[in-house]
Each structure stands twice: as C-alpha cells, then as structure tokens.
Amino acid sequence: MSDTVFAAASITKMFTTTAIFKLAEDGFIRLYQTAGSILKEMDKAPYNEITLAQLLSHTSGLYPDGGCYNEAGKISPWGYIAGRPDLPWIEAALAIGMNKKPGEQWQYCSFGFVLLGEVIARVTGMRAEEYIRKEILEPCEMNSSGFVGYFKDQKTADNIADRMYVHEVEDDKEAQERITELRTLGNSAKGSPFENVPQTAGSLVTTSADLCNFGNMLMNGGTFKGKRILGRRVVARMTERFTLPTVRDYCWTAKGEERAYALGPDLRRTADSFYSKDTFFHEGSGGCCLIVDPLEKLVAAWFVPYVNNVWSAPALYNAAAVIWSGLI
C-alpha cells in the first residue's frame, strides 16, 4: 500500500543531500569547502583535506560501512562512539582514523552523511532533522514522513506509528519497540553517547507516495506544486556525475570498477538497468529504492519487505525492470 510507513534506510541520504544543496544555494556553505572549516573537530590532519563534496560522493577516505571489505578486527565509527561516552561523538568516532586518502577511492560511507547532518546543524543552529522537516518534507507535502522524535506533533507521530510496517508483528519485539519509539516526541537518544548524533544517514521513515512527491520535486527542477525547494540549476548540479573515471570501487563484490556517482545520488547503470542514462536514484538496505528518470518523466519508489534488512539485487534491478517495462 502506498500509505504504509517503512524505514527509508539509505534513501534518507537524498534528503540530507538536498538540505546541503539548499544551504549551498543560499550562500551559507560551498561544496568544495573542507568539512573542517565548519566542524572544528575535523580541522586537523588527516581529516582537514576532506571536502563536503567528498562526503556527499563517498570519496572522503573515511572508513566505509561494515561489510564493504573483509575488515576483520575493525570497529565502526559507531562502535568508537559507544566505546568512548566521555568524549564528544565526532572526536570519539574520528579515533578510528582514515582508510584511504580523500578522493582516492569510492567507498560507501554512511558516517559521512552523519557528519553532513552535523554541518547542517552548525550552519542553521537547529537539528538537521528539524531543518529537513521544515525545508523539505513539509513543502513537498510529505505528511507521513519524518525522523523519530522530530515529527511535527503528537498526532502525526501516532498516525505514522499506526501505519508502520512490521514483519509478524505479534512476534517481533524489536518492531514493537520501534513503534513505541515512533510515538515519542523528543530526542529518543537523550542521555546516551548518541544523543547528539544526527539521524541523517538512514533513519527517515516514509511512504512510497511521499517519496514520489520528493522525486517529482527533483524531476521538476526543484519545485513541487509551485513551491520552490531548490533552484533548477542546483538540482542539475546535484544529479550530474562527480566522480572521475580514475576513482574505483572495491566495495562488496566490486573488483575495481569505475563508479559513476553524483553529489549524493547514485548514477550506476549495468546490463540490468533499463532506465535512461540520465537517471539518478538511491537504494536502501532491506529492499527499497527511489528512482528519478528525467527523460521518461518517471518517478518510482518502492519497498520490498525483506526480513532482517537483507539486501537483495532483485529488490533493486528486478523491481525496476518490471516498472520500466510498462513504458510504451
């Protein structure tokens, strides 16, 4: 059902990207400025060369998500945060060090989008979750979307919780805890080491209908029903290729392939991709995706309810093939 609420997983990154570009077009930041010029914790070697553009394109050199490589013995940034509650979270996380030099490789790094969430917070003076709600979700009439603890009001939070998809609800204790958390307004991580960590890498909850509103805004050059969210040329820059042909991908099963990536959106096309060459998209773990095909004027969003967040290629490629097969 198009009004069922799901976890958007990494599709969340598209909203973080849009927020960053909105701040850039308003003159508050520049995409080639270093992250350390805003986040003082990063204004030291080896982090002081990382740019906002590199965080957006997964070329920062920071450690990638778990599972990308055979990283036996490595702990994630989140593990470092949990392990050093006495330190500010960025300082604790950066103790993990760098994996590559900035710009050297494409490495999928969700933590980079957490840092971008903190950039939004420091530039605007409000939580990134609040900024995204006010500047993107509400103008796009995404009334069934939001971040845990940062919904507009209690009625909205309860309505979203009532429509949240869970697998085998009567047996899924974790899902029940998630629903309870959805009903709670205010910072659910308060008092923990993660209290100040933005949810901007993968914690949005939404519906396929709401995602299509967002996708249509991007396809229409940054406007939704006459409301301007981003400038037309800004959307064009956000969705064009950023990575150089020399930037290679070794994540997961990749073997050093060239990786086409924009400043936030994915531009990947394989033999399994039937969408147009200017298409941009973002998928999420568990089997969800938002695709925008400007040539065909087609926006598609879907959730495949896999159990245990297992990623599956058919959830992306097979589902997209069926949708695009409807074009005549």
pLDDT digit string (tens) for 207-223?
999 999 999 999 999 99
User: What is the pLDDT, as a whole number, of residue 248?
Assistant: 94
CA–CA–CA angle 251, 255, 259 (5° rounding) = 65
Phi-psi category of residue 272: left, alpha or beta, with phi > 0 → left and psi -120 to 50 → alpha = alpha
CA–CA–CA angle 275, 278, 282 (5° rounding) = 70
The two three-digit tokens of residue 76, written as one number: 């994630």
Of 257, 259, 307, 253, nearest to 285 (Cα)? 307
Find the helix packing angle between 110-124 and 12-25, rounded to 10°. Answer: 40
* Domains of the chain by start residue, with CATH: 6-324 (3.40.710.10)
Q: How far apart are CA 238 and CA 215, in angstroms?
A: 13
CA–CA–CA angle 226, 228, 233 (5° rounding) = 120
Of 5, 68, 11, nearest to 284 (Cα)? 11
Of 23, 65, 10, 53, nearest to 211 (Cα)? 10
Of 242, 51, 21, nearest to 132 (Cα)? 21
Question: Residues 70-128: pLDDT tens digits?
Answer: 765 677 899 999 999 999 999 999 999 999 999 999 999 999 999 999 999 999 999 99
CA separation (Å) from 259 to 68, 87, 230, 254, 326? 15, 36, 26, 10, 28
Residues with Cβ within 8 Å of residue 247, at least 6 apart in sequence: 59, 103, 104, 105, 106, 258, 259
Q: Is the peptide bond preceding residue 46 cis, with omega within 30 degrees of 0?
A: yes
The two three-digit tokens of residue 128, written as one number: 């990134």
Q: Radius of gyration of the chain from Cα atoms?
A: 19
Residues with Cβ within 8 Å of residue 211, at least 6 apart in sequence: 8, 11, 290, 301
Residues with Cβ within 8 Å of residue 193, at least 6 apart in sequence: 81, 82, 84, 85, 89, 92
Which residues sit opposite 205 in a β-bridge? Answer: 7, 146
Which residue numbers in the chain have pLDDT < 70? 1, 71-73, 167-172, 306-310
User: What is the pLDDT, as a whole number, of residue 308?
Assistant: 63
Q: How far apart are CA 268 and CA 318, in angstroms?
A: 15
User: What is the pLDDT, as a whole number, of residue 307?
Assistant: 63
